[in-house]
Amino acid sequence: MKVYGITNCNTVKKALDWLKTNNVAYEFQDFKKLGVSTGKLNEWDAKAGYEKFMNKQGLTWKQLDPAVKESIKTKDDALQLLQQKTSMIKRPVIEDGDFLFFGFDEAVYADHFKK
């Protein structure tokens, strides 16, 4: 299983704490240090749609120049921006086989990982 996120994100910290407490093994990829590939973003988009993981509620989006926000017209525009500004990706991203989840929801985690 792989977890993508940013180490200083509170939501990521909650998710990692939950995984550790429940003895769920994972590999962690820090967006700030390692980024995220175009292929991975396209894979997530194919499975869930980029709208599901493009965080427009966060500070990074809110601080964007209005012209940049207006320039996002296509999926490719959005994915290119997400690759440049990885802190706009809803975190954490959990990949476990066919399971793909964005964010932290204890009930969803419990349902998936306690099978």
Residues designated as active site: 9
3-state secondary structure the chain: CEEEECCCCHHHHHHHHHHHHCCCCCEEEEHHHHCCCHHHHHHHHHHHCHHHHECCCCHHHHCCCHHHHHCCCCHHHHHHHHHHCHHHECCCEEEECCEEEECCCHHHHHHHHCC
